[in-house]
Amino acid sequence: MKVFKNAKVLVTGGAGFIGSHLARRLVSLGATVTIIDNLTTGKLRNIEDIRRNILFLRGDLRDARTALKACSGRRYIFHLAADMGGMGYIANNWQILNNNLRIDLNMLSAARADVDLETFLYVSSACVYPEYKQNVAWVRALRESDAYPAWPDTYYGWEKLTAELLFKSELDVRLPRLHNVFGPYSSFDERGKAPMHLIVKAIKHPKPFFEIWGDGKQTRSFLYIDDCIDGLIKLMESGYVGPINIGSDRLVSINELASIIIRISGKQIVANHNYSKPQGVRGRNADITLAKKVLRWQPKVSLEEGLLRTYNWAMSLETS
């Protein structure tokens, strides 16, 4: 952990969900933290408790000069800024591809120009994995090598895979592939992931109805935010330069996820299924063998505990 003491660190997208948690952890480790965010989805309230301990830059990384300014003089860069979201948003193909390619190309050029840069971490995604390996619910857990031959099911996945190659070709880069991270400060809107949507529906039940998209038999693994941040820190400190899964290897159906949330709510809720809504690939799970071996990392917070913490946080917003 001494690696970050007094080090100048940049977190792009640092007012967002994962970025704000990461910035908070880095401040606690003694880093001199700069956050850049255009606040399209990030929110200042996410970093309100650390505003006095960081430098905040409001800027759009689709602009090359903004990226150069943000990267200049940084020893470590955690690049999280991206145009992304859950199943309600991921169909915005052209917008996602255009925005993220521009951001990532600008960040690559700016990082190359930063003479003080030691290590660059690019947050990739489980969306890089091919659709043909995720077409059954009880899917085999995805290994890092499974990304090729490539055929992601979304433009977002194609862009992430392309960016991995771009950054790896030019920088000393770390490449975590995140799998369905959830927790406090998650989005409630169309960019939010399944746990957040179901939690909000449970809190507000009976209006709106508790609706599950699709038949609910589609499967995923979910990683609590604290474990995600542990993995990112460990990876940045490591010398490992290949893609690596940061996720949970506990596979659950969306129906099971909903049942856990309903139990936490204490309400008598009968779920409805909406078959007209998108549900993505049929199954996705993370093989974290490599992370256990290389980083000595694995999730510590159970799905039930993480959902309880997130439910209580969301409840506090409703009652405040």
Judge whether 156 counts as a catalytic residue.
Answer: yes
DSSP secondary structure, 94-143, as one string: HHHHHHHHHHHHHHHHHHHH-TT--EEEE-EEGGGSBGGGS-SSSPPPBP
DSSP secondary structure, 136-171, as one string: SSSPPPBPGGGG-S--BSSHHHHHHHHHHHHHHHHS
Do 8 and 73 form a contact (C-beta atoms < 8 A)?
yes
DSSP 3-state of 14: coil
CA distance 300 to 223: 10
> How many CA atoms lie less than 13 Å away from 271 in the CB half-sphere?
23
> How many CA atoms lie less than 13 Å away from 4 in the CB half-sphere?
27
CB atoms within 10 A of CB 183: 24
Of 129, 156, 185, 240, which residue is the catalytic one? 156
Do 78 and 11 form a contact (C-beta atoms < 8 A)?
yes
- Per the rule left: phi > 0, alpha: psi between -120 and 50, beta: everything else, 58 is beta
In this structure, are strands 219-220 and 252-253 parallel, antiparallel, or unpaired? antiparallel
Q: Where are the beta strands (DSSP E) in the chain?
A: 8-12, 32-37, 54-58, 76-79, 119-122, 124-125, 173-178, 181-182, 211-213, 219-220, 223-224, 243-246, 252-253, 272-274
Catalytically active residues are 156
